[in-house]
Structure formats: C-alpha cells, structure tokens
C-alpha cells in the first residue's frame, strides 16, 4: 500500500477461479505514503537495513527483531522494491527468519537476494 501511493492493491489469485477483488479506496494520502516510503528507504541507506543495499534494485523496508522467551530472537525485514519513483511493477515482501536474532543482519540480506532474483525473472517491467 505504501509503494502504491496509499492505495491497497487489488488481490489477484493465481490458482483457482477467483475473481480479482474490487478496487480499494485510498487508505493513506499519497503524501503520507511517500513520507513512509522515504523513511523505509532511509532504513536501508542509513539505518538498520544497510545490508539490503547489495540489491541491484533500490529497496525500502523496515527491520525487526521479535524476542522469544528462552530462545534467540526472530529476525524480520518487510518492504518493497523498487523503492524509487520509476513507473512500473513493484514487489512487496516479508522475510522472517526463526531464531535469526537481528532483522538487519539476517533477514535484510535475504530480501536483497529475493529482489535480485525477481529482477532476473523480469518482474519489474
């Protein structure tokens, strides 16, 4: 939704005979979505997710660490790419690594690899 200018994207089912969902209303203003998207980009360029900078496509995202009693914390990184204003398709992702400890150290590089693979599959055209 942040990468889509504040609108919740329509859902399209790949399997089955489901019809696409009807268009969704504006959830956030385009300006608010841009502010959040820029903050998520800064998390990659100057913050906790700098390991996602390895991606050939600009990524915006948010890292996280979920504490687990008696075990190592879970690591996560959620975001979208490309993070710039280039028109075209984008992907959204969430990487969760059970007991991975830190989102920026473990999940962000996996997201970078995921985005690189999406680029190779030409998903951004």
3-47 pLDDT, tens per residue? 888 988 876 656 666 666 666 778 899 999 999 999 999 999 999
**Strands across the sheet containing 71-81:** 60-68, 71-81, 91-97
Are 82 and 90 a contacting pair, CB within 8 Å?
yes
Element (H, E) at 94: strand 91-97
Look up the pTM and report it: 0.84
Res. 50: pLDDT tops 80: yes
Q: CB neighbours (10 Å) of residue 107?
A: 29
Q: How far apart are CA 71 and CA 92, in angstroms?
A: 29
pLDDT of residue 120: 87
The CATH classification number of 30-120 equals 3.30.450.330
Q: How far apart are CA 117 and CA 108, in angstroms?
A: 14
């Amino acid at each position: 939704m942040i990468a889509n200018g504040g609108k919740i994207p329509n859902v399209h089912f790949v399997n089955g005979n489901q019809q696409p969902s009807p268009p969704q209303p504006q959830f956030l203003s385009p300006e608010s979505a841009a502010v959040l998207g820029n903050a998520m980009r800064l998390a990659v360029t100057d913050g906790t997710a700098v390991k996602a900078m390895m991606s050939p496509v600009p990524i915006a995202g948010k890292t996280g660490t979920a504490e687990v009693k008696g075990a190592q914390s879970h690591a996560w990184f959620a975001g979208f790419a490309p993070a710039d204003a280039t028109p075209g398709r984008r992907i959204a992702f969430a990487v969760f690594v059970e007991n991975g400890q830190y989102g920026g150290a473990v999940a962000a590089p996996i997201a970078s690899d995921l985005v690189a693979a999406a680029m190779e599959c030409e998903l951004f055209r």
